[in-house]
């Protein structure tokens, strides 16, 4: 559900450009791009300044007048996504680029950045009010309405449902607003207290007792609910999130205890032993198709066709034995190490990708410069474009065709490095994903949910086949 708003920039355009291109907000400039200007604050500002002053006859960096706001130098659009949209930074940036071209065309000067520093992804666009062809962009009620329609269409093309623009009825309660303003809530307070207390308890009952000592009212029934002092209504544990259900809390305590020691004193390894036990159970189910007793005093047959479960567990066990992983503590250590390698490879790859994009933009500017400098009878727009290209090349110390050739050679070298790094990165990511899957699988095993889920999946498959045959 994307939402678009706009801000008219009457002055300090340079600060706005520098803000949206902040490396800390854009994963080290990975999710930034530009059109008809370089994707760095200095060059983008100078290019926009040149075009604006050429067509408007005004100073781009003129201070605010004593009366009124003065002319609009640039327009800052913000396209925000709902966290429920569940989109990746890559997809958000693809949407941003498609939206910019769809809305403003190929003659605009625009800097685009996707910010990752908030709880929701959002795109920033700073567009010069004058395009390189002299077309003027205005920010008013009509254009804002049209831009929001374009945003909805582009997002819908990428599978993102547009926002419901009906007026919201009813306001936020003061208590809710106050907690939101502080960045906290009753639920978040309960989560934090549970996370603090769970590290020192031995079972769920002890955790609930510690919550009572901390001032909470605990009610046990079909569902366990807790209420903090001053809280109007109790909240069920299962409504705090997947990690705070009764079963999850029990599993978290058990997971911690098992992982505290590398192995038991008698030489048995709990992680490996649990895997072998589960593998034997699954193998038996697959071979016999017998019924498996579920928690709620009923049973379901397990499909013997689901041999992939056996292969998966066997592969996991083989990897654990190969890498000599015997406990949850060692498993978590391995995942942490792979995560570190994965992050380092990602940062190195991202830095090269950003460098490559800059080189591509510079190469394009250089090609345009030499093409236009060799051409006779340039149009006013071409003369302006030549001026911008010359300015960009000068700022980047490119003075001759030989410099341009060296730039292209560096571009090819960087492309080759990226190809090698991508291969290493994919291997690193694969190992990280494999071990993360092992951890998730064992998490289900430790809760006693793994085989139950297999049974549920088998039942659903049979129901789907039955419905298709009807």
Whether residue 224 contacts residue 209, with contact meaning beta carbons closer than 8 Å, is answered with no
CA distances from 121 to 79, 116, 318, 442 (A): 9, 6, 40, 32
**Per-residue model confidence (pLDDT) at position 364:** 86
The span from the first CA to the last CA of the chain, in angstroms, equals: 38
* Model pTM score: 0.57
**Per-residue model confidence (pLDDT) at position 265:** 36
CA–CA gap between residue 6 and residue 79 (Å, rounded): 9
Whether residue 450 contacts residue 278, with contact meaning beta carbons closer than 8 Å, is answered with yes
**Per-residue model confidence (pLDDT) at position 428:** 86
Residues 17-30: pLDDT tens digits?
999 999 889 988 88
**Per-residue model confidence (pLDDT) at position 464:** 74
DSSP state, residue 65: P
More confidently predicted of 16 and 447: 16
DSSP state, residue 199: G
Sheet bearing 217-219, strands edge to edge? 217-219, 225-227, 235-236
**Per-residue model confidence (pLDDT) at position 255:** 52
Question: What b/e string do you get for 292-315 counting C-beta neighbours within 10 Å, with b at 16 or more?
Answer: beeeeeeebebbeebeebeeebee
Q: List the domains of the chain with CATH numbers.
A: 3-157 (3.30.930.30), 174-257 (no CATH), 266-470 (no CATH)
pLDDT, mean of residues 85-103: 88
Q: How far is CA 32 from the centre of its chain?
A: 15
**Per-residue model confidence (pLDDT) at position 183:** 53
The fraction of the chain above a pLDDT of 70, given in percent, is 77
When the pLDDT of each residue in the chain is averaged and rounded to a whole number, the result is 79
Lowest-pLDDT range, 13-22, 226-235, 258-267, 276-285?
Answer: 258-267
List of residues 6+ apart from 409 with CB closer than 8 A: none
Sheet bearing 3-9, strands edge to edge? 3-9, 74-80, 122-128, 110-115, 32-35
Residues 96-151: pLDDT tens digits?
988 998 888 888 999 999 999 877 889 999 999 999 888 899 888 888 888 988 88
**Per-residue model confidence (pLDDT) at position 310:** 66
pLDDT, mean of residues 341-363: 86
pLDDT band at 447 (very low <50, low <70, confident <90, very high): low
- The total of other beta-carbon atoms located within 10 Å of residue 139's CB is 19
Residues 12-62: pLDDT tens digits?
899 999 999 998 899 888 899 998 888 888 889 999 999 999 998 888 888
User: What HEC string does 365-430 produce?
Assistant: HHHHHHHHHCCCCCCHHHHHHHHHHHHHHHHCCCCCHHHHHHHHHHHHHHHHHHHHHHHHHHHHHH
CA–CA gap between residue 225 and residue 238 (Å, rounded): 8
The fraction of the chain above a pLDDT of 90, given in percent, is 13
- The total of other beta-carbon atoms located within 10 Å of residue 172's CB is 10
């Amino acid at each position: 559900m994307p939402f678009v708003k706009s801000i008219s920039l009457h002055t300090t355009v340079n600060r706005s450009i520098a803000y949206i291109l902040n490396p800390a907000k854009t994963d080290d400039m990975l999710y930034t791009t530009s059109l008809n200007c370089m994707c760095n604050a200095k060059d983008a500002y100078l290019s926009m300044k040149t075009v604006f002053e050429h067509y408007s006859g005004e100073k781009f960096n003129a201070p605010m007048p004593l009366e009124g706001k003065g002319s609009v130098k640039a327009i800052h659009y913000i396209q925000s996504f709902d966290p429920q949209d569940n989109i990746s930074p890559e997809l958000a940036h693809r949407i941003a680029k498609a939206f910019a071209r769809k809305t403003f065309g190929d003659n605009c000067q625009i800097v685009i950045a996707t910010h990752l520093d908030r709880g929701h992804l959002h795109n920033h666009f700073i567009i010069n009010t004058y395009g390189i062809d002299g077309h003027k962009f205005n920010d008013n009620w009509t254009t804002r309405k049209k831009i929001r329609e374009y945003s909805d269409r582009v997002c819908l093309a990428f599978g993102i449902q547009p926002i419901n623009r009906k007026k919201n009825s009813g306001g936020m309660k003061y208590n809710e607003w106050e907690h939101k303003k502080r960045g906290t809530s009753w639920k978040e307070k309960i989560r934090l207290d549970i996370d603090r207390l769970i590290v020192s308890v031995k079972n769920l009952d002890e955790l609930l007792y510690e919550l009572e000592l901390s001032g909470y009212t605990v009610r046990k029934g079909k569902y366990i609910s807790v209420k903090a002092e001053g809280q109007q209504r109790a909240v069920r544990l299962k409504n705090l999130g997947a990690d705070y259900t009764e079963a999850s809390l029990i599993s978290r305590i058990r997971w911690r205890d098992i992982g505290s020691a590398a192995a038991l004193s008698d030489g048995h390894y709990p992680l490996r032993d649990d895997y072998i036990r589960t593998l034997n159970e699954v193998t038996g189910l697959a071979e016999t198709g017998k019924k498996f007793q579920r928690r709620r005093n009923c049973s379901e047959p397990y499909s013997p066709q689901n041999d992939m479960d056996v292969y998966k567990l066997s592969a996991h066990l083989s990897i654990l034995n190969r890498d000599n992983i015997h406990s949850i503590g060692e498993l978590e250590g391995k995942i942490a190490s792979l995560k570190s390698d994965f992050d380092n490879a990602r940062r190195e790859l991202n830095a090269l990708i950003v460098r490559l994009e800059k080189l591509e933009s510079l190469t394009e500017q250089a090609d345009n410069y030499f093409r236009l400098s060799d051409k006779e009878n340039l149009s006013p727009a071409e003369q302006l474009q030549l001026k911008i290209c010359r300015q960009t090349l000068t700022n980047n110390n490119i003075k001759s065709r030989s410099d341009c050739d060296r730039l292209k050679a560096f571009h090819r070298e960087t492309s080759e490095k990226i190809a090698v790094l991508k291969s290493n990165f994919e291997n690193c990511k694969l190992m990280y994903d494999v071990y993360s899957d092992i951890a998730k699988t064992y998490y289900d095993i430790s809760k006693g949910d793994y085989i139950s889920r297999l049974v549920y999946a088998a039942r659903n498959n049979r129901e789907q086949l039955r419905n298709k045959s009807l």
